[in-house]
Amino acid sequence: MKILVTGGAGFIGSAVVRELVANTSHHVVNLDCLTYAGNLESLTSVAGSDRYAFERVNITDRQALDRVFSEHVPDAVMHLAAESHVDRSIDGPGAFVQTNIVGTYTLLEATRKYWSMLEPSRQAEFRFHHVSTDEVYGDLHGSTDLFLETTPYAPSSPYSASKAASDHLVRAWQRTYGLPTLITNCSNNYGPFHFPEKLIPHVILNALHGKPLPVYGDGSQIRDWLYVEDHAQALVAVVSRGVVGETYNIGGHNEQRNLHVVEAICSLLEEMAPHEKAKSLRHYRDLITFVKDRPGHDARYAIDAGKIERELGWVPQESFESGLRKTVRWYLDNRDWWQRVLSGAYRLERLGEQQ
């Protein structure tokens, strides 16, 4: 297939692009507008492939989308482009409405126009795969409840509300127009090339710089953690073999309290980078600082990923312990990548190219 991946320079999107180019025979068109979270340096390993192309396009730009469809003639769309940081959505929800709702609508309409003009055999094979989040379900207060594909939506933040809206749009385009869509809802991702504002990379880099490690409230919030490369493999399985109109939940079977995640990172750094600890510290965990809780903070997320295991044969390969060890090691071994992100150099060079 030739697959159009939106948001392919982001954290999860770049993992999907790397997986497709490195481990399949598919061709990939990476469509990304390169906001602060888009980083082409995450794709250096595949950028030279003759099966890879890049288009700098915003998903709200209908004219540009029509051009991309016409020129590249994809067999599938994997839609990952989104604003995704909860704190940013609380401070400025407008961008989330524009990208996640208006952008998804615009992409759906461009896709529908393109799909409607395909030969019947290609129409039947075409797929629009929308990648979403478990946060659309709200939170779980029981200790054993799990999110199912049929769990009612109850989003808590502007981010999750905008993703819930985009999910509804995708389902409506499938019901109303027959567009062959699939939806996946995933748990918290972590791993290499993660933008440093998110919890795990933020804690790793703050610890290495001797800065406070902020923990919301008492750190009792529970998340199900999914290694990003496991997620990428699941997404490829869904776009390749998933049933049109179906939703698949993707989780790592790794529930952890936020405080435990921070403490586990500190323990790994004590083992892997003891010499980098600030001289004023006895232990990295001495940097842990409890801060005022986030407004509307969900208590617990946990996914039942049984459907994708039964129907598509996907199971995560990494435990939380093995995945977190790989993640900490990656950040220790790839300082150039995150130092250029922290300094803004990855964006400054991009601005220079435009002038």
Choice among 32, 55, 83, 134 that is catalytic: 134
Q: What is the mean pLDDT of residues 224-245?
A: 98
Percentage of the chain with pLDDT > 70? 98
Q: What is the mean pLDDT of the chain?
A: 95
- The catalytically annotated residue of 105, 114, 159, 301 is 159
Least confident stretch, 12-26, 45-59, 128-142:
128-142
How confident is the model over 272-288, as a mean pLDDT? 92
Q: Which fold has domain 2-194+225-253+301-319?
A: Rossmann fold (3.40.50)
The confidence score (pLDDT) of residue 264 equals 98
Domain map (residue ranges) of the chain:
2-194+225-253+301-319
**116-135 average pLDDT score:** 97
Between these two residues, 256 and 351, which has the higher pLDDT value? 256
pLDDT at residue 351, rounded to an integer: 47
The residue annotated as part of the active site, out of 135, 224, 255, 263, is 135
pLDDT (tens digit, 9 = 90+) per residue, 175-219?
999 999 999 999 999 999 999 989 999 999 999 999 999 999 999
Residue 294 predicted with pLDDT over 90: no
Per-residue pLDDT, 278:
83
> Is 270's pLDDT higher than 80?
yes
- For the cut 70, the answer to whether the pLDDT of residue 26 exceeds it is yes
More confident residue, 294 or 122: 122
Instruction: Please report, rounded to a whole number, the percentage of residues in the chain having pLDDT higher than 90.
Output: 89
At residue 296 the predicted structure's pLDDT band, cuts being 50, 70 and 90, is confident
Verify whether residue 135 is a known catalytic residue.
yes
Q: Which of 232, 224, 189 is nearest to 305 (CA)?
A: 224
The owner of tokens 């600082």 is 289
pLDDT at 354 over 50: no
**141: pLDDT strictly greater than 60:** yes
Over residues 118-124, mean pLDDT: 97
pLDDT of residue 350: 55
